Structure 1
Amino acid sequence: MNYARTALLLAAMTGLFLAVGYLIGGTGGMVIAFGIAVAMNAFAYWNSDKVVLRMYNAREVDAGTAPQFYGLIQDLARKANLPMPRVYLIENDQPNAFATGRNPENAAVAATTGLLRRLNQDEVAGVMAHELAHVKNRDTLTMTVTATLAGAIGMLANFAFFFGGNRNNPLGLIGTLLVAILAPLAAMLVQMAISRTREYGADQEGAEISGQPLSLASALEKIQGSARRIDNHQAEANPATAHMFIINPLHAHAIDGLFSTHPSTESRVQRLRDIARTMQGAARRTMGSVPAAGGRRSPWG
């Protein structure tokens, strides 16, 4: 269902681009704007992982420098049938994590030191399984495509403001200006809807990888509570990266509103609890009930 919804939203974004391109820039303007947007986003696609990791001063770790955390990622990657990603830690007290990289073969996962301090081992496993699910589902590619289309629509809008757009379109000059104002807003809404859909998909896939949806649900609640109290200065200085994290690291995200890049934590937790009931029911039918995840103390201190 999540894949179908994402496909429909991508189709809507593409249709919006074509319609706006004709109304604002005509065929020529549409092609030029799309070419520029593709070039810009291609550069971002190949280099964004390095830029973002450097932005957060992330340090790469391995089996020698962070044996327990690195070993956990190794185990989860094996369960997910993924190549071992590069593993990073970010010195930040706010618990959070993200994944980046253009494909599973060039992926990286990063967690804050606050995540390891404030969550127990099962919860950390749930969070990192979620991030590996983003890698497995190639969500970075999906978001790059949407960014390309949204960027092209924005450029067409700029053409309209600076050059007057295609005045021979059926809506006339007033219609062109209205489309120039409203089209980027509509593109942003579709882009955010796709982002929210991919978060739900990663929650479900991550629960299947870790086998502990309730631990992921508990982790989301803890991260949400901490994000409201603990500043993430790097994220506040770079709000365009907020959508990458498992929970929005910024303070202004109290509700699951129209402009939110993440679903509400409450709705995500409820879905995970539903997944847990389904998994437990299946387990009872095959090998008896599975005990609930324990609240072990974090081995990372």
Structure 2
Amino acid sequence: MRTRFAPDRGLTSRMVVTMFLLGLLYVVFVGALVALGVRALTVLLIAGGLLLAQYFLSDRIALYGMGGREVSPREAPELHGLIDRLCAMADMPKPRVAIADSDVPNAFATGRDQKHAVVCVTTGILRRLDARELEGVLAHELSHVAHRDVAVMTIASFLGLVAGLMTRFALYSGLGARRSDGQGGLPIGLIVMVVSVVVYAVSFLLTRALSRYRELSADRAGALLTQRPSELASALVKISGEMARIPTRDLREAAPFNAFYFAPAAAPGATLANLFSTHPPLERRLRQLSEISAQLGRG
């Protein structure tokens, strides 16, 4: 994959380990279902179909959900100009460009690969950031595109989807079924449900950890591409502060897209524990950017 975004071996190794653990969990889960005599083929087929739909239609789904609209260079010349420059610097194809009419200051990138990618910014972020800060945010989002983070997170979420569907399957169809050997014991459906809930919880935590790693990686890659980490830090601080001024109702409507966003749609202090967050704490992101500034010899 051709790109000039700087690699981050430390974060990459952590993401690889997390993906390995998810894969191992998947193997154990399927093995447990087979041992229990559960016919999981239907659930796997349904989950696989949903995964494929999410994988191939992620750009359309995200744009539709956020009310994003593709814009031409004539409609948004400054935005297109920034993305043109960054794509030239990163040596990558230019994605489609969209704007969502929302006062929530944010941006996201989606699409399964560079040829099917779209970068979307809200009108709220365009009003609040200057050109250099916006460039830092866009470099972060283009890093997600270059590293195919949407595809990675879609695949990583597959196990949680299977476990969730299996839990419902156990609840609605097999909760009262006993062991087939006639020896009684716990209902097979209950065992399946408990195993599925545990697997879902573990996969949820691993996927959230993977999401936090990729956000730190995108911050680093974007800052190194522009060589101005302080501008990205400024954008983070400004956006996080502005979230407190957004009506709670608007934040709740935007929250389902937090995994896509540059910054979570929540006021400071309103998020769940860091363990459950899709993004690293603001302090962690700022500390990394400060370290990069020191490495580059800039403030």
Q: Same fold (TM over 0.5)?
A: yes
Q: Is the 8 A contact 2:104 2:251 kept in 1?
A: no
Q: How far, CA to CA, are the matches of 1:16 and 1:152 in structure 2? A: 12
Q: 1:163 aligns with which of 154, 162, 174?
A: 174
| Contact 2:159–2:200 (Cα < 8 Å) also in 1 | no
Q: Which residue of 2 aligns with 1:296?
A: none
**CA offset digits 1:153-180 (Å, max 9, x no partner):** 2223333333248958xx9657544323
State the partner residue of 1:146: 156
**CA separation in 2, counterparts of 1:50 and 1:234?**
21
Asked whether the 8 Å contact 1:88–1:111 carries over to 2, the reply is yes
Measured at CA, do residues 255 and 157 of structure 1 come closer, stay the same or move farther in structure 2, by a change above 3 Å? closer
Separation in 2, partners of 1:255, 1:207: 27
Root-mean-square deviation (CA, aligned residues, Å) is 2.4
Identity, in percent, stands at 32
Aligned to 1:295: none
Q: 2:31 aligns with which of 22, 25, 35?
A: 22
* SS across alignment from 2:73: coil
Q: Which of 10, 15, 39 in structure 2 is aligned with 1:6?
A: 15
Does the residue aligned with 1:88 lie in a helix, a strand or coil?
Answer: strand
Report deviation, 1:35: 2.8
Structure 2 Cα separation of the partners of residues 81 and 166 of structure 1: 60
Cα distance in 2, alignment partners of residues 205 and 167 from structure 1: 54
Shift, 1:93, TM fit: 2.0
In structure 1, distance between residues paired with 2:227 and 2:41: 47
Shift in Å, 1:89: 1.2
Structure 1 residue 193: deviation in Å? 0.8
Query: Partner of 2:232 in structure 1?
Result: 216
Secondary structure in structure 2 of the residue aligned to 1:243 = coil
Measure, in 2, the Cα distance between the counterparts of 1:245 and 1:73. 17
Change (3 A) 1:48 1:234: farther
Which segment drifts farther, 1-10 or 227-236?
227-236
Residue type matched to 2:200 in 1?
Answer: P
The structural deviation recorded for 1:204 is 0.7
Cα 1:18–1:269 shift into 2, 3 Å: same
Determine the C-alpha separation between the residues in 1 that align with 2:112 and 2:96: 13
Contact 1:157–1:183 under 8 Å retained in 2: no
- Aligned to 1:109, what secondary structure does the other structure show? strand
Deviates more, 1:93-102 or 1:148-157: 148-157
Code of the residue aligned with 1:21 in structure 2: it is V
Residues 275 and 30 (structure 1 numbering): CA distance in 2 closer, same or farther, change over 3 Å?
Answer: farther
Is this contact kept in 2: 1:235–1:241, CA < 8 A?
Answer: no
Cα 1:176–1:34 change in 2 (3 A) is: closer
Deviations 1:90-136 (A, max 9, x none): 12222110001110111110111121211111110000000000001
Choose which of 266, 281, 293 in structure 1 pairs with 2:283: 266
CA shift, 1:202, in A, is: 0.5
Deviations 1:212-238 (A, max 9, x none): 111101111111111122138566235
The aligned counterpart of 1:44 is: 54
Q: What CA distance in whole angstroms lies between the structure 1 residues aligned with 2:140 and 2:247?
A: 23
Cα distance, 1:28 vs. partner? 6.0
SS in 1 for 2:67: coil
| Aligned amino acid, residue 3 of structure 1 | T
Distance change in 2, residues 1:73/1:256 (3 Å): farther
Match of 1:97 among 107, 120, 126: 107
Q: Distance in 2 between matches of 1:256 and 1:128?
A: 27
- Unmatched 5+ residue regions in structure 1? 281-289, 293-301
Q: 1:24 touches 1:160 (CA, 8 Å); kept in 2?
A: no
> How do 1:112-261 and structure 2 match up within 5 A?
112-161=122-171, 162-164=173-175, 173=187, 176-231=192-247, 236-237=252-253, 239-251=255-267, 253-254=270-271, 257-261=274-278
Preserved CA contact (<8 Å) 1:83 1:105: yes
C-alpha separation in 2, matches of 1:59 and 1:176: 43
Q: Return closer, same or farther for 1:34/1:269 CA change in 2, 3 Å cut-off.
A: same
Deviations 1:228-276 (A, max 9, x none): 2213856623533221101111347446522111111111011011011
Relative to structure 1, is the Cα distance of residues 255 and 28 closer, same or farther in structure 2, using a 3 angstrom cutoff?
A: closer
Q: 8 Å contact 1:150–1:188 — kept in the other structure?
A: yes
Please say if residues 59 and 116 of structure 2, whose CA atoms lie closer than 8 Å, have aligned partners that are also in contact. Answer: no
